[in-house]
A and B are shown apart, each in its own frame.
Chain A
Amino acid sequence: DQQVKQNSPSLSVQEGRISILNCDYTNSMFDYFLWYKKYPAEGPTFLISISSIKDKNEDGRFTVFLNKSAKHLSLHIVPSQPGDSAVYFCAARGTYKYIFGTGTRLKVLA
């Protein structure tokens, strides 16, 4: 049973526009949510996170929104750049465990 879901396998966006990546989760006990970026042949790298007691966190071009009632998480990238093209994973933390979604491949078109 997939506790963390990313329902869009891929997304294409024009350079300069907003990219919105979505993630849903089922376990209300998750207390910390994260987004990772992954390039081919490399390990995932941490982008941004949010605690379950907040609903928004910003870091430069990246903003994460958390809607606990809907059990929904989103990552906004503004403006999108060609270097943002990668696979993005959302993750949620339970007791010591980090559970990941299946990933969304973002392609930013120049």
Chain B
Amino acid sequence: NAGVTQTPKFQVLKTGQSMTLQCAQDMNHNSMYWYRQDPGMGLRLIYYSASEGTTDKGEVPNGYNVSRLNKREFSLRLESAAPSQTSVYFCASSRMDRGLGSPLHFGNGTRLTVT
């Protein structure tokens, strides 16, 4: 089982360049999420999609856009990369069954460096 797949695994950008991080899940989950992990800051929520067709801002949305392409795929776009966006990015998904509780399942991350 693939679970949550993120591409690419590594990326180096110059300041001002753009790129899209891809995420796909094969667990038929309703909700999908993008987090960034920085030293001493833990995992911070960038954007999430509670269900297909909806997206909402998380804790640190500035400088990012997202697209929920279909139920499986949720992409994160950096329109004009900045050094402050150097981080490890994680995509996650959840069944989001509020009655039973539903953990997040994470991909293995994309390590992004902006120079």
Contacts and interface: CB of A to CB of B under 8 A. Distances in A.
Contacts of A43: 4, 90, 92, 106-109
Contacts of A41: 108-109
B101 A51 contact: yes
Nearest to A44: B106
B40 A102 contact: yes
Interface residues of B, number: 28
B58 A97 contact: yes
Contact of B108 (A31, A42, A100): A42
Interface in A11-60: 31-32, 34, 36, 41-46, 49, 51
A99 interface: yes
Interface stretch (B11-19, B42-50, B74-82): B42-50
Contact of B48 (A34, A46, A51, A97): A97
- Name the interface size band of chain A: 20 to 34
A29 B69 CA distance: 30
B25 interface: no
A100 B44 contact: yes
A46 B109 CA distance: 15
A46 B101 contact: no
Interface in B51-79: 56, 58-59
26 contacts: A31-B98, A32-B101, A34-B104, A36-B106, A41-B108, A42-B109, A43-B92, A43-B106, A44-B90, A44-B106, A49-B103, A51-B101, A91-B104, A96-B31, A96-B48, A96-B56, A97-B45, A98-B45, A98-B94, A98-B104, A99-B59, A100-B42, A100-B43, A100-B45, A101-B42, A102-B40
Interface of A: 6, 9, 31-32, 34, 36, 41-46, 49, 51, 89, 91, 96-103
Interface of B: 4, 31, 33, 35, 40-45, 48, 50, 56, 58-59, 90, 92, 94, 96, 98, 101, 103-109
